Amino acid sequence: EVQLVETGGGLVQPGRSLKLSCVASGFTFNNYWMSWTRQAPGKGLEWVASITNSGGSTYYPDSVKGRFTISRDNAQNTLYLQMNSLRSEDTATYYCTRHLYFDYWGQGVMVTVSS
Amino acid sequence: DIQMTQSPSFLSASVGDRVTINCKASQNINRYLNWYQQKLGEAPKLLIYNANSLQTGIPSRFSGSGSGTDFTLTISSLQPEDVATYFCLQHNSWPFTFGSGTKLEIK
């Protein structure tokens, strides 16, 4: 059974940093691209970042480019999202997703950016 | 960026009704369109990928159609457990973009 478990969320002040983790199980992690997607409270979904299976290439929308970094440790079956210079508009539930059709999602982790 | 215009934003229908939800892309996305169901407090679940392919384990009352810019999700016979918000996602080109969602309730 595919499982994606995110951790690392919480309350953080504007301008500070936070790192999310996602541990994957139930599939061969290093065969798949992976992504992060977020959902602001009561709002729609926004794709945040993707990474190739080797970690050699990454992709971001303009809204987070230069502030967020996606990475992975294939030996540990773990995906990361380093978030710097956080803004109030980054407040959202962040989901780890398997990139193939975004077919599996974690339960999500809440990030609140507020002073 | 490709804009995904989803309609309607809210839909109320009776059990057994045929329900359709639409997504229109601002440019050609071929068939690179997925549909998701999100129940309250849960993560989204993939229903349809590449416009018309049913994800494993999803009931056959769900179907997708369309190509190019216009896409439709159809529920052939609405069930009480289908109450949810439905989203489309285009994965034809970066940045991937979602529709704004359709909230479906039972009348």
Sheet holding A34-39, edge to edge: A10-12, A109-113, A92-98, A34-39, A45-51, A58-59
Mean pLDDT on B53-70: 97
pLDDT at A38: 97
Mean pLDDT on B51-57: 97
Is B91's CB within 8 Å of A101's CB?
yes
Residue from the list A44, A105, A106 with its beta carbon closest to the beta carbon of B101: A44
Cα distances (angstroms) measured from residue B22 to each of A37, A48, A106, B12, B73? 22, 24, 26, 15, 6
- Please tell me which residue of chain A has the smallest CA distance to B53: A101
DSSP codes of every residue in B3-18: -EEEE-SEEEE-TT--
Residue-wise pLDDT tens digits, A4-57: 999 999 999 999 999 999 999 999 999 999 999 999 998 999 999 999 999 999
- Please tell me which residue of chain B has the smallest CA distance to A60: B95
* Cα gap A29→A7, rounded to integer Å: 18
Contacts of A62 in chain B (CB under 8 A): 95
Residue A39 distance to chain B (closest CA, Å): 10
pLDDT at A100: 81
Mean pLDDT on B81-92: 97
Note whether B35 and B88 are within 8 A (CB).
yes
Residue B25's nearest CA partner among B76, B85, B96 is: B96
Mean pLDDT on B20-48: 96
Mean pLDDT on B10-31: 98
pLDDT at A71: 98
DSSP codes of every residue in B42-107: S--EEEEETTTEEPTT--TTEEEEEETTEEEEEESS--GGG-EEEEEEE-SSSSPEE---EEEEE-
Is A102's CB within 8 Å of B34's CB?
yes
Q: Could you tell me what percent of chain A has a pLDDT over 90? A: 96
pLDDT, chain A, mean: 96
